Amino acid sequence: MSTQQSALSRRRTNLALATLFLGTFVLGTAELIVVGVLDVIADDLHVSIPAAGTLVTAYALGVSIGGPVLTALTIKLDKRTVLLAALVLCIVGNLIPVLTADFGLFVAARAVTGALGGLFVAVAFVVGITIVGPERMGRAISVVFGGFAVSGALGVPLGTLLGQSLGWRGTFIGIVVFAVLTSIAALAVLPSVVSAASGAGDQARYAFAPRVLAMLFLQFLVFASVYSTLTYIVPFLEGVTGISGALVSVFLLAYGVATAVGSIAGGRFADRNAARTLIVATIGTSVALLALYLVGAIAFLVALVMLAWGSFALGMVPSLQYRVVSLAGPGGALASSLPPSAANVGIAFGSVAGGMAIDSTTTASSVVIAGLVIAVISVPVAWATSFLKPPVVEGAPEPAGEASPTHEPA
C-alpha cells in the first residue's frame, strides 16, 4: 500500500470512528436526558414524578433485554445496515413522544428505543474493532463508549437547559436532528462490514460461558458501586460538603468531564493490559470513595476526589468491554451486547442500595460507604478474573475479527 493510500485509510478510519462516537453521544443523551426534564414531562403529561420515572426504567430494560435479543437476531447481517436501521428507527422512536400526548405510548417508545440503542452500541463496538484491528481494540472501544461519557458531561446539561427553556419536546427534537445528521454521516463514511461470525446459537455457547459471566459480574459491581453513591451525590454535596445552587452543577460537571477523559484515555491502558488495568482501577475507585468519605466536608478536596473517582471508575470501562469480547472468543459479536446489560442492572442495584443506606441512617455520608463496600468487593473479583483466558478454538477467528470490512475503511 502506498503512503497516500495509507494516509487516506487512516482518514476514513478516523471519520468512521468519529461517526460511531457521535452515534453513541446522541443515543446516550437520549437515554439520560429524561432525568434532566423529568419534572417538566410529569407536569405537561399530568402524571406523577414516580410515574414519569418509568420512562427511565423502560429505556434501561430495553437496553438490558432488548439489546442482546436484537443483536442475536441481526448477528449475520451487514453491520453497516444494522447501524443505519437502528439509527433510523431511533429517530422514529424519539419523534413519537413529540407527536403524541399518550404517556403509555411514550413508555413503549422508550423501551423500543432502548433496545435499539443497545443494538447500536453492540454493533458499533464490533465495527470499531474491525476497522482498527486487534492491536488497537481498546482504543476503538474507548471511542465508542466515549460518546456515552461525553453525553453525560455535555449532552445532558445542554439538553436539560434546552428543555427548561423550550419545553421537553424541544429537547427531543434536538436529539432527532442530531440523529438525522449521524445517519447521514454513517451512510457516507461507514464501510460495509460483513459478518464472518457463526449463528447466534453457536455464539451463545461462548458469549455466556462462565469466564464471560465472571467479567459481567465485575461490570455489575463496578456500576453498582458508582451509582449507589452518584445517584445521591447531590444530597451529599449539599448536606455534607455544604455547597448548593450553581456550585453543585460545577462539581457534577467536573465529575462528568473526568469520566469522559477517563473513558477515552482508558482505551490505551486496555490495549496494553486490560486485566491489570481493571485491578488498578478498582483499587483506585475504592481509595477515591474512602477519600470522599473522609474529606467530605472540605469542598476543594471533594472536587479533586471526584475528578479521581470519575477517572478511575469510567476509565476501566474499555478494559471491561475488551475482556468480555476477548474471553468470548468466537462469540465476541454477541458478547459485545452484554456489558451494557450488566451495567444497567448494576445501576439499578446501586441506586436501590444507596437509597436503602440513606433511608436507614438518614445521613448522606452513608451512600459513600455503600459505594465503598461494593467497590472493595470488586477488587478481589478483578484480581480473580485476571487469570481468565480466552478459549482455544481450532480454526476460530480472532476475537476482534469476527466481522470484516468488504472494502478499505478509508
Domains, the chain, ranges and CATH?
Answer: 3-392+401-405 (1.20.1250.20)
pLDDT for 25: 92
**Low-confidence residues of the chain: pLDDT under 50:** 1-8, 396-402, 407-410
d(CA 336, CA 316): 16
Which of 341, 3, 317 minimizes the C-alpha distance to 139? 317
Distances (CA, A) of 158 to 62, 170, 282, 336: 25, 12, 31, 30
- Terminal-to-terminal C-alpha distance of the chain: 12
Render pLDDT for 367-394 as a digit per residue (tens, 0 to 9): 899 999 999 999 999 999 999 998 876 5
pLDDT for 182: 94
Render pLDDT for 168-227 as a digit per residue (tens, 0 to 9): 898 899 899 999 999 999 999 888 887 655 666 778 888 889 999 999 999 999 999 998
Q: Are 231 and 352 in contact (CB under 8 A)?
A: no
d(CA 264, CA 147): 9
pLDDT for 247: 81
Render pLDDT for 43-75 as a digit per residue (tens, 0 to 9): 888 888 778 878 877 888 888 889 889 988 888
H runs (alpha helix) in 208-245: 210-230, 233-236
pLDDT for 145: 84
Q: How many CB atoms lie within 10 A of CB 102?
A: 13
- Reading the block at residue 309, the C-alpha cell is 473517582
- Reading the block at residue 335, the C-alpha cell is 458478547
pLDDT for 329: 87
Q: 195 forms bridges with which residues in the sheet?
A: 403
pLDDT for 308: 94
Q: 403 forms bridges with which residues in the sheet?
A: 195
d(CA 270, CA 279): 12
Q: Are 262 and 320 in contact (CB under 8 A)?
A: no
pLDDT for 261: 87
How far is CA 371 from its chain centroid?
Answer: 19
> In sequence order, what are the residues at sequence separation of 6 or more whose Cβ sits closer than 8 angstroms to the Cβ of residue 407?
191, 192
User: Could you give the 3-state DSSP secondary structure of residue 195?
Assistant: strand
Q: Are 190 and 16 in contact (CB under 8 A)?
A: yes
User: Could you give the 3-state DSSP secondary structure of residue 398?
Assistant: coil
pLDDT for 197: 57
For all residues of the chain together, what is the average pLDDT? 84
DSSP string, 72-139: HHTTTS-HHHHHHHHHHHHHHHHHHHHH---HHHHHHHHHHHHHHHHHHHHHHHHHHHHHH-GGGHHH
Neighbouring C-alpha atoms within 13 Å toward the C-beta of 215:
31
Which residue carries 464472518 as its cell? 196
pTM for the model stands at 0.80
d(CA 327, CA 104): 40
d(CA 247, CA 70): 42
pLDDT for 57: 78
- Reading the block at residue 49, the C-alpha cell is 414524578
pLDDT for 94: 93
